[in-house]
Structure 1
Amino acid sequence: MYLFPFVFIQVCGALERMDPTLEESARISGAGLFTITRKITIPLVLPSIMSGALLIMLYSMAHFGTVAVLGIEQGIYNIPTLIYEKIHQSGGSFDSIRTGTVLATVLVVTAALIIWAQQKVLSRGHYQIIGGKSFRPMELKLRGLRYPLLFFCLAYIGFTILLPTVVIFLVGGVSTYGLPLTWENLSLDNYKYILFEYEVTKDAIFNSVTLGLAAAVITMFAGVMISYVIVKMKVRGKGILEFLGMLPFSVPGSVIALGVILAWSGKFGINLYNTVWIILVAYIARYMAFSLKANSAALEQVHDSLMEASRSCGATMWQSLKDIVIPLVRPGMISAFFLIFLPALRELTVSIMLYAPTTRTIGVAIYTLNEDGETVMSTALAGIALIIIVCGQMLINHFTKKVSE
């Protein structure tokens, strides 16, 4: 359930950019709230819904951590954990690697079919809802639905966010794991040790924040340029370009890490192995799909007449992009930044195969503590990581709000 931000962030951005006169015209014509939502609002934000749904499906297919921790002991596998088990149990034999390659191919083919199906759905309609006029989103009066929806939102937030968060901080503060949660069994010593005595913490936090920011900024701007080619330019092979951009995200992170090791370990002239740069390269490849889908959904809503008017007035392609397209798709760019930076802070699957003693990330540090049987310490570090992520999101929200003003 924690994957819902993939859809939530993108749909919010689309709703903020949607021309409210479309809904107002329907309301004047006598249409009700349900009819307006079904026939106008949902079809117009369909690119954002489909993009978020695609990201969730691909992420779930290629996800390793949650299934590995909760499912393997119960005999529950997905393709990434099955690949890991095959290779791990056989000690990396050729037969297990061959089996893993076949399973990874299944993921690639499935991802290709999903992308193809999405393109077929979106090609049936037009979704350009941003024109040359300024507007504000229309606020709806929920009336009788106000309190039921409020209760649903509070219950959802309580059970999926607040309850797990409280448990993390409580377990991270217990003196003896397994004993009842009493005041005598609670202490801040674990957090003190993690922050001031555990040598790995400082480097892990610095590495995670630096890698997350670098990967988010690079993929955000690169994604806008690539998405513009895919959505707005009539060039051959742009479908292949989109497929290649989505491909790294649809395969397990361990496959990405292995490919990066083989490509950047000196065999082709450049050796990034055991450096922070090889992790950055893997992050960029891994999370480019987030930027492509978020920016493509935003560009789908920018009418071609805006660019045509700019070019007819003598503006160059770069000027049109800088002064018209980028400001209009800024919500999509911000969505891409969030969707990349925050997951990169807690990334594990790629980092665990690429880290060196001096390039540990937060996810790796938490994982190694848990593997060593230090459940309480790993939970304490997870709580600290959660605080860092929340503070980072608040700072980004504050910064983007000032920029928009």
Structure 2
Amino acid sequence: MKHSLNRSRGFGTAEVILTVAIAVLVVVVVVPVVLIFFNALWVDGKFNAADFVRVLSERDTYMALGNSLFIATGVTLISTTLGTFFAWLVTRTDLPYKRLMKGMFLIPFMLPSFIGALAWKMLLSPRAGYINRLLMDSGLTDGPVFNCYTYAGIMIIESMYLFPFVFIQVSGALERMDPTLEESARISGAGLFTITRKITIPLVLPSVISGALLIMLYSMAHFGTVAVLGIENGIYNIPTLIYERIHQSAGSFESIRTGTVLASVLVVTAALIIWLQRRVLDKGKYQIIGGKSFRPLEIKLRKLRMPMFILCIVYIAITIVLPTVTIFLVGGLKTYGLPFTWENLTLHNYSFILFDWQLTRDAIWNSISLGLASAAIAMFAGVMISYVIVKMKVRGKGILEFLGMLPFSVPGSVIALGVILAWSGKFGINLYNTVGIILVAYVARYMAFSLKANSAALEQVHDSLVEAARACGASMWQALKDIVIPLVRPGMLAAFFLIFLPALRELTVSVMLYGPSTRTIGVAIYTLSEDGETVYSAALAGIALIIIVLGQTFIDRFANKAKAK
């Protein structure tokens, strides 16, 4: 008799797994998000749209909404231009050292943008910025030239760390694109500019727009850069206003009320952006990939070859090397503001943070332990949920995929506010100001990573292997334990690392949820900077960068070994 995992009679094992999986996602995801809308529109159990409108009509509220849209639009335009240009340069031209350049352009993708903003604050603040001071001390200018505490400063600095969203998508599309259309245009006498404008860009336009919408979504919900550079000049976006209202009023009802209204707007905006992205991808399915093996057309830059290479080097030096070196140097200063000389540099700050200061030691431990715990929980939960989605034909499994991906589509500040509402005693469980509430938020936030990695691994496991085990008398649980889990272990480990590293550098969620003893690395860096402890903030940021780079290196080696097998 042939046993099939794809059939289930009555309320069997498949339904049990489905029920447990849905219950996990409902508790972790649905309840917090639903409570956001409920608290925004209901007061004392009664529908109250007028109060919702009143909060939106307050000056601080609509200014924050306008700032979010304005900054996100500027960041999207700058990032899309940079990402598309550099993607074309490293994939379709004869630029020297293209592989190295491509790897360098991906580095900002793994660096926390708020640490970059902190570095640029040290370099470009009007009074104390090292570049401004250098220009004034040398007599080249009478006053500061640069001011990072402006809309333009925020947009440019945030774009440095978000342009890889477009770069990755466009470079992938260009590498897979059939070059015959470009070759035909070249044979017909068209020049480089005409070919690029009329053929190349239109063909990859869906990838460009898709990446741009991702940047818009991320920037609308981004906390770090605006918090570091904007608040100084009275510039708030939605996440920073939510943070300010809740922390200044110690979580009063009115601040929570304002936060839920703003969070609701973020959710609606995110849903609209995701809908637009899907429409673009559905309508933009141009056939740019042929069936034959080919190498993309390489355009000869000729006299522009070295200038373009120098441009890439200069861009990398300014956006990656300069701020990173600044972080480490400032972290080694005896006092912030001193010139970078050997007499003024010391390793004491780093040793003090790592071994002596309880606050930073706790922050490092909290981040590592939260990263490990959330990665492990999401990994195992993701395997169970992915198994239902990929391998079982039971009604309702489509709900799982939607719920699992929902938190990744919802801004982090919304997730944070939702778990505050859900787990601060409302249902008999009070996790407020504990590590537990951050852990719940992390699991919800990064569950999508686990689902993607585990689903991809499960797709490669043929159903016949489990069916054979069932035919030999093994129970479903035995088949899972002895066959499925060993085969998808690489996917599980990939999911673990995909969650651990972002959780390690996370700020947007943590800054809304931390308590006196539950600071994470990101929160500690931000709060130390705000308290004027600049050298300690920079030293901790430098340590965080080392941890992130080591973690990314380990992940890359693991991925390469997995591919080799």
Specify the TM-score bucket, using the shorter chain as the normaliser: 0.7 to 0.9
Matched, 1:78 2:217: no
> Cα deviation per residue 1:278-301 (whole Å; 9 max; x = unaligned)?
322211222345667x779x98xx
Change in Cα spacing, 1:337 to 1:157, as seen in structure 2 (3 Å) is farther
Residues 1:119 and 1:186: Cα distance change in structure 2 (over 3 Å): same
Does the 8 Å CA contact 1:173/1:380 hold for their aligned counterparts? yes
Task: From the CA coordinates, give the structure whose radius of gyration is larger.
Answer: 2
Q: Do 1:249 and 1:289's aligned partners in 2 also have CA atoms closer than 8 Å?
A: no
Once the two structures are superposed, residues 339-360 of structure 1 have per-residue CA deviations (whole angstroms, 9 ceiling, x without a partner) of 6443322222322343456643
What is the alpha-carbon distance in structure 2 between the residues aligned to residue 163 and residue 391 of structure 1?
20
SS of alignment partner, residue 215 of structure 2: helix
Q: 1:290 to 1:160 in 2, by over 3 A?
A: farther
Whichever residue aligns with residue 23 of structure 1, its letter is D
Q: Contact 2:506–2:522 (CA<8 Å) still a contact in 1?
A: yes
Distance in 2 (CA, whole Å) between partners of 1:126 and 1:181 is 54
Measured in 1, the distance between the counterparts of 2:453 and 2:212 equals 15
Deviation at 1:115, TM superposition (A): 1.3
| Residue 141 of structure 1: how far off its partner (Å) | 3.3
1:23 and 2:183 matched: no
Contact kept? 2:388, 2:397, Cα under 8 Å:
no
Aligned-partner Cα distance in 1 for 2:416–2:444: 10
What amino acid is the match of 1:143? Answer: K
Q: Are residues 1:250 and 2:410 paired?
A: yes
Structure 2 match to 1:181 = 340
Cα distance in 2, alignment partners of residues 81 and 221 from structure 1: 33
Partner Cα distance (1:194, 1:251) in 2: 31
Letter in 1 for 2:300: R
Distance 2:526 2:245 in 1: 21
> In the alignment, which residue of structure 1 is the partner of 2:86?
none
Compared CA separation, residues 9 and 401, structure 1 to 2 (3 A): farther
- Contact kept? 2:363, 2:524, Cα under 8 Å: yes
Distance 1:385 1:113 in 2: 35
Q: Which runs of 5+ in 1 are unaligned?
A: 300-305
User: Is 1:264 equivalent to 2:431 in the alignment?
Assistant: no
Amino acid at match of 1:82: L
Per the TM alignment, residue 124 of structure 1 is displaced from its structure 2 partner at its CA by: 2.1
Cα shift at 1:361: 1.9
* Distance of aligned partners of 1:260 and 1:248 in 2 relative to their CA distance in 1, 3 Å threshold: farther
Q: Does 1:64 align with 2:218?
A: no
Cα 1:102/1:167, change in 2 over 3 Å? same
Match of 1:162 among 291, 299, 321: 321
- Structure 1 counterpart of 2:418, one-letter code: G
Q: CA deviation at 1:249?
A: 4.8
Aligned equivalents of 1:129, 1:226: Cα separation in 2: 31
Which residue among 135, 141, 149 is the counterpart of 2:298?
A: 141
- Give, in whole Å, the separation in 2 of the partners of 1:89 and 1:271: 21
Question: 2:379·2:450 contact (CA, 8 Å) conserved in 1?
Answer: yes
Q: What letter corresponds to residue 30 of structure 1 in structure 2?
A: S
SS in 2 for 1:108: helix
Count of paired positions: 377
Q: Which region of structure 1 is more displaced relative to structure 2, 217-226 or 90-99?
A: 217-226
Deviation at 1:236, TM superposition (A): 8.2
Deviation at 1:92, TM superposition (A): 4.5
Identity of aligned residues (%): 61
Task: Please identify, of 355-364 and 122-131, the stretch whose mean Cα deviation from structure 2 is larger.
Answer: 122-131
Partner in structure 1 of residue 275 of structure 2? 116
Distance 1:337 1:149, change over 3 A: farther
What is the CA distance between 1:159 and its match in structure 2?
1.5
CA displacement 1:110-142 (0-9 Å, x = unmatched) = 1111111112122225489999x9x98846534
The aligned residue for residue 285 of structure 1 is 444
State how 1:298-313 maps to structure 2 within 5 Å: none
Worse-matched range after superposition: 256-265 or 243-252: 243-252
Find out whether 1:393 has 2:552 as its counterpart.
yes
What letter corresponds to residue 544 of structure 2 in structure 1?
A
Cα distance, 1:245–1:50 mapped onto 2, change above 3 Å: farther
Task: Give the structure-1-normalised TM-score.
Answer: 0.72
Tell me, in whole angstroms, the C-alpha distance in 2 between the residues paired with 1:28 and 1:352.
49
Q: Displacement, 1:221? A: 8.0
Q: Please, what TM-score do these two structures have when normalized by structure 2?
A: 0.54
Distance 1:337 1:130 in 2: 33
Partner of 1:190: 349
